[in-house]
Amino acid sequence: MDEKYFAQKIEKKWQTRWAARSTFEAKIDDQKEKFYCLEMLPYPSGKLHMGHVRNYSIGDVLSWYKRLQGFNVLHPIGWDSFGQPAEQAAIKQGVNPREWTENNIDEMRKQLQSLGFSYDWSREIAAHRPEYYKFDQWFFLQMLEMGLAYRKDSEVNWCPQCQTTLSNEQASGGVCWRCGSQVEKQMRPQWFLRITNYAEELLQDMSQIEDGWAERVLTMQRNWINKSKGAFVEFRVQSSEFRVKVFTTRIDTIFGANSIVVAPEHPLILENFDSFSDGVRTKIKEIKVEQATPKDYDEESEKDGVDTGLKAVNPFSNEEIPIWVGNYVMMSYGTGAVMSVPGHDERDFEFAKKFDLPIRQVISEPHLVHEHHTMQSLGLEQAFTAKGILVHSDYWNGKESKDAIKEMTHHAETHGFGEGATTYRLRDWGISRQRFWGAPIPIVYCDSCGAIPVAMDDLPVELPDSAPFTGIGESPLAKVDDFVNTTCPKCGEPAKRETDTMDTFVDSSWYYFRYCDPHNSSMPFASDVVNYWMPVDQYIGGIDHAVMHLLYTRFWTKVSNELGLVEFTEPAKRLLTQGMVVAESFYSKEKETYVFPDDVTIERDESGKVLGAKLAEDGSRLRVAVEKMGKSKLNGVDPNDMISIYGADAVRTFSMFAAPVENELVWQETGIDGAVRFIQRVWRYVYKWKDVIGKSNDRIGAGGSESADLLKAARYSDSAKKLRQKTHQTIKRISENFESGQFNIPVAALMELSNAMYEFKVDPEAADDSDIIAVREACKSLILMFAPYAPHVSEELWEVVTGSDIGILESGARFPIADEKVAKEDEIEIVVQVNGKVRARIITSSEASKEELQKLAIQDKKITEYTDGKEIVKIIVVPGRLVNVVVK
RNA sequence: GCCGGAGUGGCGAAAUUGGUAUACGCACUAGACUCAAAAUCUAGCGGGCAUUAGCCCAUGUCGGUUCGAGUCCGACCUCCGGCACCA
């Protein structure tokens, strides 16, 4: 056996063995507790980036840990293989999107395998294959039957030059990515899923998962759904039958309404448009165009609007107020009209300031009520948005907001101009895409029967193998006559297929079900199999998916539950949201592009701090920036190169050690040497002790089976005792870290353990039995705890220590368990503070009582120097930690 | 703009959840080994003053609560993620 650590060689060896032995294939086993560990599946871009490495390393660490604890672990992987990049490659390079995608999958599979991830490859799935997307279509038809899928007109980005629809990304900055034309909005009929039916459940069921999901994710989802209780109120339009309906959560502020602001496409405006003056009409058209132009989010759009001259009547005060058209009111949101209360709403305040509209205060802070009650108007510096006491509100004066909201809503209801209501900001999920590379929506349009679903037995509706990819005109799919032309499933007459395909979020909404039963051809999955494995015990993915994907997938689970397919209503018990991995990159203003360190001359000061950067090619200055990996075409660091230089174990270990998993990580390679050195240190240590701790030594029992009696019976020297103490302290610490999802600290703890092993200065030749037992215990514990990070080298060293090539998992080895008695320190250091400042340290028994500690502290010479001549006010004693003497 | 986060040495970070700030590692410096280099080992490594065993300052900024604050509260600054057709 080679005694030098050579990563590439042992990694290949163990990857081959695991595959040959099907080590990681999961089977249903009622004798064992199951653990479903799932990482978000990748889009097959063709190249792994460090964000992937980090994500999948976390999952692999956890999978190994759970296997070592005896769980029946399901750890699958697959491909989210529909999406725009394949279609863009088809347009730009003329390749076939399916071939392009399959090639990318082959490439990325190789890379994942070279990292030695413990996947059950027999369950691999890919969204673009008919055997998968057949069931996207199946689910769609089920939802159609349930009344959850429907069709309505909705906006898309439209390039008038290319005569094609564009994604938001393709329309960024409001111009077409291809030709640079101004992008417009266009209405077209599209399919939607009624996620809004589940708004309340999506909120309520958060109680099932709040222990396992990060609070920040649930908060974001809650705010996205944005439930608000309030009331609809109708304002009569003066000298007209028209009533404008608004929604407000603050009906208590209605006496402060100075105007009604409506969207430019509000029915009232459409109806009265011809009666407006030229100036008003021009302004309304401008606002309409502004709203129809896609904007970047960071563009701050200034409030704009125009007084239409129409008047509305406040149903509470009978006051006549003007009706404005405003650029901040959208027809697609709410009722398309708001009542403007500048005194108590920030947006309305800003609008009123800009157009010099009256601002009235009708809510006051309790202690100011008297003053405000008698004053006509107040010069508010900013909107007062808190609740309070009503003033200048006629009959309602003096009431608290909370009561006024109830009573005023009731008043509106009994007088027929309003009603209490709960609204949600969440909108239905539009799934239609005017693109080729997605699952076709299984609908046929017949002139006489209308939109008819394809029969279940006729699924899948398969994508044709080729289509004209031009980037111009309608979707490529619509240009394939053989696909488009069909017969009506109902009447048999000639008819046309739906040519829109589904949003790729559909594929990723149920893939974790499919992993449980990946080869089922008649159903998406068998219920009993899914009910064994699901819900997912630990889901791991980027924080960038906190809202959309995770909300869609929760919705899908609820629908599946309603269909009787699954027993549960939430897909994942625990969610770990990994921080983004970003590449240190540089932005070139002239070229409007990001470049990465290879092409850049970086200027640093003596300490290595980056001062600036210049483009190597022409010396132009660059802005230092970071860019999310995978977002840009340039992915910064190539994991392939790193694996071939440092080995998979080192790359995995370092990606975990570099930062806590929830932090954002600016990737830099410096530091990975430390991981390599650590692996080599462990390697050398095990080899140094190999002959005395391995199986060949039968003086103290075989290396493969550690007997508790043996450990107990041995008489240890002080240094051996100290080594055992460190071993068990490390086990304890790492177990706690794993349970709480901290994966960086265990690496540091293992390094500390190995440092302690090196400090155990007994020569293997001169070691007595108890020394050997202590060393062997340390080595075996270290190997087992390191296996989740660096499985290849751990398997190899396990073979060295146990003398058997059966493999860690096959041998039945378990994650070590800490012995509290062994881990316990006899003596500890107690800090003594005077007024919170550390002034002395005393070494004492870890058992010392509060009284003993206090006594020791005030007798200490260093402490008396500070306390002499002063009055001791109090003494705080925290056993095991510190004593704080407070003096005056 | 709206929603959600983050900020600790030259760098990645740790801190038992209110109790010794800087564990572990990277980089760096010096020494040992070597003809030499690499590797390895030993020591040092937040800043300032003393260079002794001591003192003062430091966890983005400003303020507050507390015997005690990186941790809790308030305001601000900077950076990052999401915003419904990137996945």
Nucleotide in closest CA–C1' contact with A865: B54
3-state SS record for A405-453:
HHHHHHHHHHCCCEEEEEEECCCCEECEECCCCCCECCEEEECCCEEEE
The single-letter code of the amino acid at A698 is: D
Q: Which residue is nearest to nucleotide B41 (CA to C1')?
A: A758
Q: What is the pLDDT of residue A583?
A: 67
Secondary structure letter of residue A342 according to DSSP: T
Work out the number of other CB atoms within 10 angstroms of the CB of residue A601: 14
Check whether residue A156 has its CB closer than 7 Å to nucleic acid strand B: yes
b/e per residue A333-352 (b: at least 16 CB within 10 A): ebbbbbbbbbbbbebbbbbb
Q: What is the mean pLDDT of chain A?
A: 88
Contact predicate A122/A74, CB 8 Å: no
Contact predicate A51/A555, CB 8 Å: no
β-strand pairing of A429-430 with A184-193:
antiparallel
Distance CA A588, CA A625 (A): 10
Work out the number of other CB atoms within 10 angstroms of the CB of residue A676: 19
Secondary structure letter of residue A401 according to DSSP: H
β-strand pairing of A443-446 with A450-453:
antiparallel
Amino acid A297 CA to nucleotide B83 C1' distance, rounded Å = 8
Q: What is the pLDDT of residue A704?
A: 45
Residues 115-154 of A with CB under 7 A from strand B: none
Q: What is the pLDDT of residue A605?
A: 41
In degrees, to the nearest 5, what angle opens at C-alpha A298 toward C-alphas A294 and A304?
65
Amino acid A760 CA to nucleotide B23 C1' distance, rounded Å = 20
In degrees, to the nearest 5, what angle opens at C-alpha A829 toward C-alphas A827 and A834?
145
Q: Is the dihedral of CA A300, A301, A302, A303 positive or negative?
A: negative
Amino acid A361 CA to nucleotide B80 C1' distance, rounded Å = 39
Amino acid A609 CA to nucleotide B46 C1' distance, rounded Å = 16
The single-letter code of the amino acid at A392 is: H
Q: What is the pLDDT of residue A879?
A: 85
Q: Is the dihedral of CA A718, A723, A729, A731 positive or negative?
A: negative
Nucleotide in closest CA–C1' contact with A425: B84
Enter the pTM of the model: 0.91
Peptide bond connecting A788 to the previous residue in cis, omega within 30 degrees of 0 = no
Q: Which residue is nearest to nucleotide B14 (CA to C1')?
A: A745
User: Quick one: which of A27, A25, A7, A61 has its CA closest to A815?
Assistant: A61
C-alpha A666: how far from its chain's center? 17
Distance CA A191, CA A142 (A): 14
Check whether residue A297 has its CB closer than 7 Å to nucleic acid strand B: yes
Residue A865 gets the label, from left (phi > 0), alpha (psi -120 to 50) or beta, of alpha
pLDDT along chain A (888 residues), means of 10: 80 96 96 96 90 93 97 97 93 94 96 97 97 98 97 92 90 86 90 97 95 91 93 92 92 93 91 91 88 72 86 94 91 88 86 86 76 52 80 89 93 94 94 96 96 95 94 93 95 95 97 98 96 96 93 98 97 92 59 51 45 53 51 58 92 93 82 93 93 66 58 81 94 94 95 94 85 92 97 95 90 92 86 87 84 86 81 87 87
Nucleotide in closest CA–C1' contact with A831: B20
β-strand pairing of A320-326 with A305-313:
antiparallel
Amino acid A435 CA to nucleotide B23 C1' distance, rounded Å = 54
Q: How many CA atoms lie within 13 A of A189 on its CB side?
A: 8
Check whether residue A628 has its CB closer than 7 Å to nucleic acid strand B: yes
Amino acid A597 CA to nucleotide B10 C1' distance, rounded Å = 19
Residue A506 neighbours by CB under 8 Å, 6+ apart: A136, A139, A140, A431, A439, A552
Check whether residue A874 has its CB closer than 7 Å to nucleic acid strand B: yes
Amino acid A633 CA to nucleotide B74 C1' distance, rounded Å = 43
Contact predicate A470/A507, CB 8 Å: no
ipTM of this model? 0.94
Distance CA A558, CA A209 (A): 14
Residues 234-273 of A with CB under 7 A from strand B: none
Distance CA A460, CA A133 (A): 7
C-alpha A218: how far from its chain's center? 11
Distance CA A157, CA A168 (A): 7
Angle between helices A769-786 and A672-693 (to 10 degrees): 140
User: Quick one: which of A778, A652, A797, A780 has its CA closest to A2?
Assistant: A797
Sheet holding A575-578, edge to edge: A72-74, A34-39, A538-542, A575-578
Distance CA A420, CA A334 (A): 15
| Both structure tokens of A550 | 């995770």
Q: What is the pLDDT of residue A76?
A: 98
